[in-house]
Amino acid sequence: MYDKNKIVTGLVIFVAIVTFPFWYNLGKASSVPEPKLSEKAKAAKECVVPKVDMKQEHMQILDLWRDTVVRDANRVYKTGKGKTFNMSLSTGEESCMGCHEDKAEFCDKCHNYASVDPYCWDCHIAPKEKKPEENK
Amino acid sequence: MNEKYLYSLIAVIALFLVAYAGVEAAGLQWLFGIIIPYLAIITFIVGFVVRVKDWACSPVPFAIPTTCGQQESLPWIKPSKIDNPFSTGGVIIRMALEILLFRSLFRNTTCKINEGPRISYVWEKWLWLFSLAFHYSFLVVVVRHLRFFLEHVPVCFQILDKIDGFLQIGLPGVMLSGVVLLAAAIFLLLRRILISQVRYFSLAADFFPLFLIIGIAVSGIMMRYFTKVDIVGVKELTMGIVTFRPHIPDGIGAIFYVHVFFVSVLLAYFPFSKLMHLGGVFLSPTRNLRCNTRAHRHINPWNPKVKVHTYAEYEDDFREKMIGAGLPVEKEL
């Protein structure tokens, strides 16, 4: 082999980069997050759409809701079963956060795991921070 | 229709059907989600190393750097230090510009025959522009995917996500790199199909990786924006692979396995194809040699050892006899 030192150095760097995820995770136990449902959510039993769809499409539902509320002033969402919900992320008992009260346990668990940083909370206030104001 | 791109297209469609039917009909999630990805990674790494090793074992008999400027010679002639690098530093700069900015492609011209007939060479930067867009967006897409392979994703990757999605269009936010990757790959494909001269020298091996990469991009975009998959389930699977505790979570759609199968095929195909220019660009003797042929002799490493008898040795052998015969010698007794 010619230029052995350079070739071997290059190949070692290549293999180190390609196998980065393998050695980065060495010795770390991977834990799959399970979002915790609040007592209220458990009691309600069903969300606006079935759990499987909610898991995959909640961001699009929220996006659609935001546009519907802001542009059409329509705040009522009717599920397939005829139940109505208030289209809101964090205002009132009927809203998303009204039922899923704990952002850290419900939203953040999966978002952190998948390294997703949604911009919901750029404008909205998380329920926990809201409480002191309510007490006034 | 040109059979070369038709065959490649059919091959990619067949791969799609194999993965889709394998998961949907036969339930072979473990095959497409675990076994094939592992085999593909091993093939990629081992194949890549063996290929580079083979190249490193081929001698370079001549100094053949391409010279794109004045070579270093007499002190009053100004040399071109990067385009005709005389020193190792110059070679490093030249290689860096080649690898990071595709400088030789930037020189691309197109040939036209005008009235007369007179030939003219015209500025042609589109190939360079779209190649650069293609490679960098592909790099960003690959780096972004590390979020599926690392637990506690380092901040730098999160920042990259933020920059890539800074337009905040829709939800989930549009990632620019994915759009650019698909657009550039389609440009590179159309170039090969629509320009008759390029179509003439394009082979099935040129079309296949393009169709495959377009397939990867389309399946990825479908998953992120349209058909949707369970991302937490996907990460559970990918983390299983990189921590060597593979398992298949329930409820991941077939499109995900199609995506993974396409990527696995690309990885396994990589060392045997033109895609090896990833490693080859570092080893091209027309770029990585110094242009110092006037100052230093390049010795062919495969030159056989020739037994020589120099004049000095000849004189040593016959000095006394030479002096005795009155012949002049360089070294007296």
Average pLDDT of chain A, as a whole number: 84
- Is A13 domain-assigned? no
CB contact under 8 A, B282 and A10: yes
Give the Å distances, CA to CA, from A110 to A31, B4, B148, B151.
Answer: 11, 45, 12, 12
Structure confidence at residue A136 as a pLDDT band (50, 70, 90)? very low
CB contact under 8 A, B242 and A22: yes
- Is A4 domain-assigned? no
Question: Which residues contact residue B221 at a Cβ distance below 8 angstroms, ignoring those fewer than 6 apart?
Answer: B178, B182
Residue B173 shares a structural domain with residue B315: no
Interface probe for A, chosen from B142, B227, B231 (most Cβ of A below 10 Å), is B231
Least confident of B162-166, B266-270, B296-300: B296-300
Q: How far from the centroid of its chain's Cα atoms is residue B303's Cα?
A: 31
Residue B188 shares a structural domain with residue B290: yes
pLDDT > 70? residue A133: no
The mean pLDDT of B24-32, rounded to a whole number, is 93
- Is B57 domain-assigned? no
- Is A80 domain-assigned? yes
Cα-trace Rg, chain B: 28
- Is B6 domain-assigned? no
Contact B161, A115 (CB under 8 A): yes
Residue B191 shares a structural domain with residue B216: yes
Contact A68, A87 (CB under 8 A): yes
- Is A79 domain-assigned? yes
- Is B19 domain-assigned? no
- Is B237 domain-assigned? yes
Burial B145-166 (b: 16+ CB within 10 A, else e): ebbbbbbebeeebeebbeebbe
Residue B325 shares a structural domain with residue B292: no
- Is B4 domain-assigned? no
Residue B89 shares a structural domain with residue B152: yes
- Is B167 domain-assigned? yes
Q: What is the ipTM of this complex?
A: 0.87
Range of the domain at B221: 63-255+274-297
Distance from CA of A114 to the nearest CA of B (A): 6
- Is A68 domain-assigned? yes
Residue B116 shares a structural domain with residue B74: yes
pLDDT digit string (tens) for B48-96?
A: 999 999 999 988 889 999 988 999 989 999 999 999 999 999 999 999 9
Structure confidence at residue A128 as a pLDDT band (50, 70, 90)? low
pLDDT > 60? residue B1: no
Average pLDDT of chain B, as a whole number: 93
pTM of the model: 0.89
| Chain A to chain B Cβ contacts (< 8 Å) | 93
- Is A98 domain-assigned? yes
- Is A14 domain-assigned? no
Nearest CA in chain B to A60: B171
pLDDT > 60? residue A129: no
Nearest CA in chain A to B172: A59
Angle at A63 between CA A62 and CA A67, to 5 degrees: 115
The mean pLDDT of B6-21, rounded to a whole number, is 95
Residue B79 shares a structural domain with residue B166: yes
- Is B312 domain-assigned? yes
Model pLDDT, residue A38: 83
As for how many domains chain B has, the answer is 2
Q: Smallest Cβ distance to A113: which of B57, B170, B235? A: B235
Residue B185 shares a structural domain with residue B247: yes
pLDDT > 60? residue A135: no
Interface probe for A, chosen from B49, B242, B252, B275 (most Cβ of A below 10 Å), is B242
What are the residue ranges of helices labelled H in chain B?
Answer: 3-24, 29-30, 36-57, 88-101, 103-106, 126-144, 155-164, 176-194, 196-201, 204-221, 231-242, 254-269, 277-280, 285-288, 311-324
Q: Which residues of chain B make contact with A119, given a CB cutoff of 8 A?
A: 168
CB contact under 8 A, A21 and B242: yes
Structure confidence at residue A96 as a pLDDT band (50, 70, 90)? confident
Residue B75 shares a structural domain with residue B184: yes
Residue B325 shares a structural domain with residue B279: no
Structure confidence at residue B277 as a pLDDT band (50, 70, 90)? very high
Interface probe for B, chosen from A62, A106, A113 (most Cβ of B below 10 Å), is A113
Residue B279 shares a structural domain with residue B310: no
pLDDT > 80? residue B203: yes
With CA atoms as reference, report the closest residue to B23 among B262, B268, B269.
B262
Range of the domain at A86: 36-125
CB contact under 8 A, A7 and B53: yes
pLDDT > 70? residue A134: no
Dihedral pair phi/psi, residue B121, rounded to 5°: -110, 125
Contact B291, B67 (CB under 8 A): yes
As for how many domains chain A has, the answer is 1
DSSP E strands: which ranges in A7-136?
A: 76-78, 84-86
Question: Which helix (H) or strand (E) covers residue B125, if one does?
Answer: none
- Is B25 domain-assigned? no
pLDDT > 70? residue B177: yes
- Is A54 domain-assigned? yes
Q: Which residues of chain A make contact with B41, given a CB cutoff of 8 A?
A: 18
Does residue B8 come out as left (phi exceeding 0), alpha (psi in the -120 to 50 range) or beta? alpha
**Sign of the four-CA dihedral A76, A81, A83, A85:** negative
Structure confidence at residue B129 as a pLDDT band (50, 70, 90)? very high
pLDDT digit string (tens) for B226-258?
A: 988 999 999 999 999 999 999 899 889 999 999
Least confident of B132-141, B252-261, B324-333: B324-333
- The enclosing domain of B108 has a CATH number of 1.20.950
Residue B85 shares a structural domain with residue B202: yes
The mean pLDDT of B184-206, rounded to a whole number, is 93
Q: Which residues of chain A make contact with B46, given a CB cutoff of 8 A?
A: none
Q: Which residues of chain A make contact with B151, given a CB cutoff of 8 A?
A: 25, 28, 30, 113
